[in-house]
Amino acid sequence: MQAMIWLRTLAALLFCFFVAGLVHVFVGSAAGWIALSVALAALTVWRSWALARVSRWALHPDTPPPTAAGALDTLVATVYRHRRTLTRELTESRDALQGMLAAAQALPDGAVTLDAGFHIDWCNRMASRHLGLRLQSDRGSNLLNLLRSPEFIAYANQDEWPEPILVRIKQDGHDRLLMMHLTRYARDQRLLITRDVTQIEKLETTRRDFVANVSHELRTPLTVLTGFLETLHDMPVDSMSADQREQYIEMMHEQAQRMQAIVADLLTLSTLESSPSAEPHEVGMAELLEKARKQAEALSGGRHDFVWQVDDTLDVLGSETELISALSNLLVNAVRYSPERTAITVTWQGTPDGGARYSVADTGIGIAAHHLPRLTERFYRVDRGRSRAIGGTGLGLAITKHIAMRHDAELEIASVVGKGSTFSLRFPAERVTR
């Protein structure tokens, strides 16, 4: 580039000398030198004018370069092209950085960038939610001062962090269990990844409780069966009367049926939780309620007074097998837990919003308010001894709740101690046909 400028300047000077020589040959020596001086002066003025234009352009290089810049034309054009290339690359880099920041903000995990002294450089929204950080005010603050957890401070002060750590944090009155993992990146920078595992811990606790409850529920009938079998095995046949043997066999049969009922309900619950909802079709509720009525009256054996208020014109879009299970569960529970000579009212009526409501109301002993939120938990019982005595598995309401959810319905429970309970299934308008 410099060689081109000097070549152009040299060419211009040679041209001036050539003109001056011609003038000297044809006119005379004095006139030639005067012509040379004028030419050099003109060349200097023109060069100064061109340089001034280039200087003004250099103050605003984003504008198109000046034309007729003389020897600087090539230089200015090259600089302008180079600047446009740099500007385009800078724009692309800025867009890429914004895209990476947007992706980091969309991460389901929290991310915090730290310097070697654990001072906060940046964090995404999820990290702000997990750790209660405010980037504008907390930028530059030491994370160890903001996150006052002895476990995390001891973890952060390690030389290496090969494994994550679980830290329990209390925030807004709620306990959160966070999995945190530190790692190094760039030039001695730190990256903290946080993940909320509170729900996973709850599910694991639920799984352990479920296994423990199943084991406990099956242990009792198995113990009874084992005891009677050992008795029958060890006791001489001559020393046992026919009535006694019949009694033992009958009790063993009852315990076997109880285990069979528990296994059947567990399989039903597993199917409801793992399988997709069946394609809904119109189900005649009057026929289902008639089946449930026969089952309930057979179980009651005339010990209860039933009142039926059924609108035969209302049907439901759903699964017939699932709906009959839900209707029967609520009705059988009312029969089992209601004292003799009390009334059980079964209602199937439309609601003002276009939906429909199935309810079973009894006038039994009722349920205390603190038990109501947990009634649909697996194996939860208000009175364990009484529930086992009447043959309940502790899974009926859990099954009913899942069936309700698969039909976009709600299971409603209302009860007053000493006055009775009402269990209802409320179906939305889009599930009800007339």
As a whole number of Å, the end-to-end CA separation of the chain is 90
CB burial of 64-102 (b: ≥16 within 10 Å; e: otherwise) equals: ebbeebbbbbebbeebbeeeeeeeeeeeeeeeeeeeeee
Q: What is the pTM of this model?
A: 0.55
* N residues, the chain: 434
CATH of 281-433, one of 3.30.390.50, 3.30.565.10, 3.20.20.140, 3.90.1300.10: 3.30.565.10
One-letter amino acid for residue 156 of the chain: A
Domain 221-274 has CATH 1.10.3470: no
User: Can you tell me the distance from the alpha carbon of 421 to that of 432, in angstroms, rounded to the nearest whole number?
Assistant: 25
Q: Encoding tokens for residue 310?
A: 């059924």
Burial grade of 369 (CB within 10 A; 0-12, 13-18, 19 or more): exposed
With H, G, I as helix, E, B as strand and everything else as coil, classify residue 345. strand
Distance of CA 59 to the CA centre of its chain: 53
H helix runs in 275-395, sequence order: 285-300, 320-337, 384-389
How confident is the model at residue 69, as a pLDDT?
57
How confident is the model at residue 409, as a pLDDT?
92
Residue with tokens 């054996």: 301
With H, G, I as helix, E, B as strand and everything else as coil, classify residue 375. coil
pLDDT in tens, the chain (434 residues): 445 555 666 666 677 667 666 666 666 556 666 666 676 667 666 766 676 677 677 777 777 777 655 556 677 777 777 777 887 888 888 877 777 777 778 888 999 999 989 999 999 989 888 888 888 888 999 998 888 888 999 999 998 898 999 998 887 777 888 999 999 988 889 999 999 998 888 878 777 877 777 777 778 788 878 887 887 777 776 677 778 778 888 888 888 888 887 888 788 877 777 777 777 889 999 999 999 999 888 888 889 899 999 999 999 999 998 999 999 989 988 888 888 889 999 999 999 999 999 999 998 888 888 888 888 887 777 765 555 555 567 788 888 999 999 999 999 999 988 888 999 999 999 999 98
| Domain 107-196, CATH homologous superfamily name and number | PAS domain (3.30.450.20)
Strands 174-185 and 281-283 come out as unpaired
How confident is the model at residue 169, as a pLDDT?
85
Check: CB of residue 287 under 8 Å from CB of residue 310. no
Residue with tokens 């005067």: 34
List the domain boundaries for the chain: 2-88, 107-196, 221-274, 281-433
Check: CB of residue 127 under 8 Å from CB of residue 146. no
Q: Which contacts (CB < 8 Å, 24+ apart) does range 81-90 have?
A: 87/62
How confident is the model at residue 40, as a pLDDT?
67
How confident is the model at residue 203, as a pLDDT?
77
